[in-house]
């Protein structure tokens, strides 16, 4: 299963690298949000980490949904979902592969967006890179766990693309809140019990919804 | 192809049950019950709702700081309870559909989702009025209210997604998956909003009379919710039976 | 036929989409070494029947079995089936070779590259092996789809309109391939709306009309171009 999982990830990354259909738009969207925030924010320095954390994660969410929507939507071209379902691979493995592709996309976005926010908002987001890496990893997995499952759900629905944000955003509010708070605390250098509480919430969310997604994905993709 | 008789089971018609012009397929007991059986739940529910409203209006003491505006709370809490219960029914029915592939469970899910959406909307509206009366603000980020807003948004998404799918089994599958994900999510939402606001709400200190009125209100509201749920589910089931009949006639 | 193992079996298969009944209590059996041709007009239910046989679509009622076991019950059992669906199932932004190698790897084949190269050569695709699938003609994509579906040499082969878009040379190659499958005890179910395309094949023909096999009896036997006078006992 691990090998099959890897080949699906490899196939998706190769396709994206050849076409650049999603990543450039996703990165540009994130940068525009960062720029807009930087232009209008004449906030006192002590308020900037909180606002920056929340806006950063909203930007990651909205930009990332483009990649998430595409990961399942692209399989509908040429009937490739049928092809995937004909292989001797469980739906859970397909789900985990798509989740990995989406998480990689969000990671690429964050490599650009976090330094951009740090520079434009003048907030020390990179002051504790290890902490930011952990928050980013868990936040990615949490958002992608729900997004990947539901993108498969709406892939065949009328106006599915616009529905995806509508149904995913309310569900990932715990992730956005927790990641925003953990980012703020990391930027302020407060890596104590409160920071760990938010990280634990992120980890719990990721664990619960990766499990739920792997269990339910078969019902999503198979008639 | 499944025939109508297979869907309905053997006829349980008894003397006096036949309503003359009502077609045979509709004479299953709980789709078109005898007149007495239909009226009793309506009368009972009406009585409970009336008792609740009378209790709110006449029995509940006037709260010393908010005055009569405080009475909104009795409707607000009852609606919130019904909204949450409705959503739990959606999730449970969805799970049962996935396990049994019986569209009957999906009818319960659809009916409960509509009731939950209504009740969550009512909770938000009454909550706004209560907040305005109490704190002169139309919205407060109290964790349970925030969770209700998210539940309303999820219910809205659930109904919109379902409306975009024609095939009933596909619609049922999608609804079930979405409901199960949302059900797992709501406790995390409450936890996150509670930590975020640093609020740890304590149980409100209520006068025993107020507590009694609240209980009556919850019972009345729940009875009304339950009646609407059963009636709406009956409608959905009849629609499904009609569809099966049409296919049998065309086939 | 009684001595051969029943490879694919559908019993009282019914499929309803919304208010449309697409399949109505269809019974079908295909043994090893047999070719079954499904004919019928557009909308007769051929594609849905094949999808049910491949466990891509769950029937509303009825049963599908592969070699006596419930179809698609375990992922590993899907190695028994190779399907060429209506859409080509190839990734437009991968090359021909990458598409076939991907299929071979997903089927868990060792030496996936070598097996893929064999099928690419057999399908006449060697000159196009490193061309992106999006730059191929309809007929070439169909050949890639065939190579992708058959790279793991499955005992059950399901094909939906396999001749669509193929030129005469490729069509002849496909007919030879299907005859070879029959000789190697593979079972082939193929759907086509044009029975003339199946000239040269020996097998049974089921005609689908409004979701039913009409008439259930007798079954026509297609005259063969390879072994004149040979026919399967019904």
Q: How confident is the model at residue C197 (pLDDT cuts 50, 70, 90)?
A: low
Q: For C181-194, what is each residue's pLDDT tens digit?
A: 888 888 888 888 77
- Per-residue confidence at B135, pLDDT binned at 50, 70, 90? confident
Q: Which long-range contacts (CB under 8 A, 24 or more apart) does C22-27 make?
A: C22/C48, C22/C211, C23/C48, C23/C49, C23/C52, C23/C59, C23/C211, C24/B1, C24/B251, C24/C210, C24/C211, C24/C212, C25/B1, C25/C62, C25/C212, C26/C62, C26/C208, C26/C211, C26/C212, C26/C213, C27/C213, C27/C216
Contacts of C127 (CB under 8 A, 6+ apart): none
The pair of structure tokens assigned to B32 is: 């078109």
Q: Kindly state the helix (H) or strand (E) to which residue C15 belongs, with its residue range.
A: strand C6-17
B163: distance to nearest CA of chain C, Å?
13
Q: What is the rounded (10 degree) CA torsion for A65, A71, A72, A78? A: 140
Average pLDDT over residues B45-72: 81
CB contact under 8 A, A11 and C75: no
Q: What is the reported pLDDT for C1?
A: 46
Domain with B88, as residue range(s), is: 47-58+67-250
Closest chain A C-alpha to B140 CA, distance in angstroms: 17
pLDDT at B3: 43
Considering the segment(s) C6-89+156-221 as one domain, its CATH architecture is 3-Layer(aba) Sandwich (3.40)
- Which residue has better confidence, B129 or C4? B129
Decide if A163 and B161 are in contact by the 8 Å CB cutoff.
yes
**pLDDT tens digits for B218-229?**
999 999 999 999
Contacts of A86 in chain C (CB under 8 A): 54, 56, 78, 81-83, 89, 149
User: Which residue from A11, A82, A84 is facing C94, i.e. has the nearest CB?
Assistant: A11
Look at chain B and report how many structural domains it folds into: 1
- The residue count for chain A: 223
**Most confidently predicted of A170-174, B41-45, B131-135, C222-226:** A170-174
State the residue range of the domain holding A15: 2-221
Q: What is the pLDDT of residue B202?
A: 54
Of the candidates A178, A197, A212, the beta carbon closest to that of B181 is on A212
Tokens representing B223 are 């009875």
- Cβ neighbours of C82 in A, within 8 Å: 86
Tell me the two tokens of residue B66.
Answer: 């908010």
The mean of the pLDDT values for chain B is: 80
Q: Which residues of B touch A (CB under 8 A)?
A: 98, 150, 153-154, 156-158, 160-161, 164-165, 169-170, 173-174, 176-178, 180-182, 184-185, 188-189, 191-193, 195-196
Q: Are C2 and C233 in contact (CB under 8 A)?
A: no
pLDDT tens digits for range C76-108 = 899 999 999 888 889 999 999 999 999 999 999
CA distance A103 to chain B (A): 19
Q: Is residue B28 situated within a structural domain?
A: no
How many C-beta atoms lie closer than 10 Å to residue C128's C-beta?
Answer: 20
**Inter-chain contact A163–B160, Cβ cutoff 8 Å?**
yes
C11 touches chain B (CB under 8 A): no
In a domain, B124, yes or no: yes
The DSSP letter of residue A11 is H
Residue B62's pLDDT band, with cuts at 50, 70 and 90, is confident
Domain range annotation of chain C: 6-89+156-221
Tokens 């525009």 belong to residue:
A32
How buried is residue B135: exposed, middle or buried, by Cβ count under 10 Å (0-12/13-18/19+)? exposed
Q: B18 lies in a domain?
A: no
* Residue A40 CA, distance from chain mean position: 26
**Which positions of chain A have pLDDT values less than 50?**
none
Contact B168 C61 (CB under 8 A): no
Top residue of C48, C91, C142, C164 to mutate, by most chain A CBs within 10 Å, is C91
* B114 vs B103: CA distance, rounded Å: 17
pLDDT for position B40: 82
pLDDT at position B12, please?
A: 45
The residue of chain C nearest to residue B251, with distances taken between CA atoms, is C21
Q: What is the ipTM of this complex?
A: 0.88
The pLDDT confidence band at residue C231, using thresholds 50, 70 and 90, is: very low
* Nearest CB neighbour to B1, from listed C17, C18, C25: C25
**pLDDT value of position A196:** 94
Identity of the residue in B1, B167, B169 whose CB atom sits nearest the CB atom of C24: B1
Instruction: Please report whether residue B189 resides in a domain.
Output: yes
Q: Beta strand C156-160 with C187-192: parallel, antiparallel or unpaired? A: parallel
Chain C residues close to A85, C-beta within 8 Å: 56
- Whether C219 shows a pLDDT value over 70: the answer reads no
Q: Which of C16, C23, C212, C214 to mutate to test the interface with B (most CBs of B within 10 A)?
A: C16
Give the closest-approach CA distance of A17 to chain B in angstroms: 32
* Neighbors of chain B with 3 or more C-beta pairs under 8 Å: A, C
Instruction: Give A153 to chain C, closest Cα distance, Å.
Output: 16
Nearest to B170 among A178, A201, A223 (CB): A223
Neighbors of chain A by Cβ distance (3+ pairs < 8 Å): B, C
Q: What percent of chain B has pLDDT over 70?
A: 82
More confident residue, A170 or C224: A170
Give whole-number Cα distances, C90 to B8, B195, C70, C81, in Å: 46, 49, 28, 17
Q: Report the C-alpha gap between A47 and C28 in whole angstroms.
A: 71
Mean pLDDT of B64-86: 85
Residue C12 dihedral angles phi and psi, to the nearest 5°: 50, 50
* Residue among C15, C17, C66, C75 with most chain A CBs within 10 A, to mutate: C75
Nearest chain A residue (CA) to B175? A153
In a domain, B6, yes or no: no
Residues of B within 8 A of A156 (CB-CB) are: 165, 170
In-domain check, residue B215? yes
CA dist C163 and C177 (Å) reads: 12
B150/A174 Cβ within 8 A = no
For chain C, say whether B10 makes contact (Cβ under 8 Å): no
Question: CA separation (Å) from A86 to A113, B205, C82, C95, C146?
Answer: 39, 61, 8, 20, 14
Q: Are residues A18 and C93, on separate chains, in Cβ contact within 8 Å? A: yes
Contacts of C60 in chain B (CB under 8 A): 2, 169
Asked if pLDDT for residue B18 goes beyond 50, the answer is: no
* Residues of chain C contacting residue B243, judged by C-beta atoms under 8 Å apart: 19
CB contact under 8 A, B246 and C19: yes
From the list A3, A77, A86, the residue facing C56 with the nearest CB is: A86
Task: Count interface pairs B-C at CB distance under 8 A.
Answer: 23
End-to-end CA distance of chain B: 9
């Amino acid at each position: 299963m691990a090998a099959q999982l890897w080949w699906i990830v490899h196939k998706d990354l190769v396709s994206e690298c050849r076409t650049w259909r999603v990543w450039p738009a996703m990165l540009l969207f994130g940068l525009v949000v960062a720029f807009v925030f930087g232009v209008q924010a004449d906030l006192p320095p002590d308020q900037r980490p909180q606002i920056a954390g929340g806006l950063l994660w909203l930007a990651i969410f909205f930009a990332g949904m483009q990649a998430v929507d595409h990961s399942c939507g692209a399989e509908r071209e040429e009937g490739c979902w049928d092809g995937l379902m004909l292989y001797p691979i469980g739906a859970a493995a397909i789900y985990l592969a798509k989740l990995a592709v989406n998480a990689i996309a969000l990671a690429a976005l964050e490599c650009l967006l976090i330094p951009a926010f740090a520079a434009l908002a003048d907030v020390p987001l990179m002051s504790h890179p290890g902490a930011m890496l952990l928050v980013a990893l868990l936040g990615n997995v949490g958002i992608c766990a729900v997004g990947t499952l539901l993108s498969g759900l709406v892939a065949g629905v009328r106006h599915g693309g616009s529905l995806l944000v509508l149904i995913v955003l309310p569900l990932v509010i715990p992730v956005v809140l927790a990641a925003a708070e953990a980012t703020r605390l990391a930027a302020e250098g407060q890596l104590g019990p409160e920071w760990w509480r938010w990280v634990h919430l992120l980890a719990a969310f990721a664990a619960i919804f990766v499990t739920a997604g792997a269990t339910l994905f078969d019902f999503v993709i198979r008639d | 192809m499944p025939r109508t008789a297979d869907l309905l089971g053997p006829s349980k018609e008894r003397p006096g049950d036949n309503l003359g012009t009502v077609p045979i397929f509709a004479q299953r007991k709980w789709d078109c019950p005898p007149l007495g059986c239909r009226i009793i739940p309506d009368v009972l529910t009406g009585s409970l709702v009336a008792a609740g409203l009378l209790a709110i209006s006449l029995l509940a003491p006037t709260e010393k700081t908010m005055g009569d505006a405080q009475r909104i709370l009795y409707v607000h809490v009852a609606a919130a309870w019904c909204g949450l219960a409705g959503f739990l029914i959606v999730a449970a029915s969805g799970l049962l559909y996935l396990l049994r592939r019986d569209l009957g469970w999906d009818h319960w899910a659809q009916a409960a989702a509509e009731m939950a959406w209504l009740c969550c909307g009512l909770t938000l509206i009454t909550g706004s009025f209560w907040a305005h009366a109490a704190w002169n603000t139309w919205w407060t980020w109290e964790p349970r209210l925030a969770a209700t807003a998210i539940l309303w948004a999820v219910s809205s998404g659930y109904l919109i997604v379902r409306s975009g799918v024609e095939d009933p089994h596909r619609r049922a599958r999608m609804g079930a998956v979405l409901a199960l994900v949302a059900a797992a999510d709501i406790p995390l939402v409450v936890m996150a909003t509670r930590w975020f606001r640093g609020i740890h709400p304590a149980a409100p200190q209520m006068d025993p009379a107020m507590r009694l009125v609240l209980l009556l209100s919850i019972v009345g509201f729940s009875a009304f919710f339950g009646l609407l749920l059963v009636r709406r589910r009956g409608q959905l089931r009849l629609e499904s039976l009609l569809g099966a009949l049409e296919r049998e006639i065309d086939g | 036929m009684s001595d051969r193992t029943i490879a694919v079996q559908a019993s009282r298969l019914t499929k309803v989409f919304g208010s449309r009944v697409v399949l109505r209590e269809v019974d079908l059996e295909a043994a090893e070494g047999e070719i079954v041709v499904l004919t019928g007009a557009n909308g007769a239910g051929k594609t849905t029947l094949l999808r049910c046989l491949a466990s891509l679509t769950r029937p509303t009622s009825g049963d599908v079995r592969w070699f006596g076991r419930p179809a698609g019950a375990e992922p590993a059992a899907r190695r028994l089936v190779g399907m060429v669906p209506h859409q080509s199932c190839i990734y437009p932004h991968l090359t021909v070779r990458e598409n076939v190698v991907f299929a071979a790897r997903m089927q868990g084949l060792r030496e996936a590259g070598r097996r893929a190269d064999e099928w690419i050569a057999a399908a006449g695709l060697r000159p196009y092996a490193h061309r992106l699938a999006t730059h191929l003609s309809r007929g070439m994509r169909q050949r890639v789809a065939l190579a992708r579906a058959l790279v793991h040499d499955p005992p059950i082969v399901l094909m939906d309109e396999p001749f669509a878009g193929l030129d005469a040379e490729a069509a002849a190659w496909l007919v030879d391939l299907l005859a070879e499958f029959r000789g190697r005890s593979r079972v082939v179910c193929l759907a086509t709306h044009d029975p003339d395309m199946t000239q040269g094949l020996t097998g049974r023909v089921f005609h689908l009309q409004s979701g039913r096999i009409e008439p259930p009896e007798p079954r026509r036997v297609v005259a063969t171009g390879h072994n004149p006078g040979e026919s399967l006992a019904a």
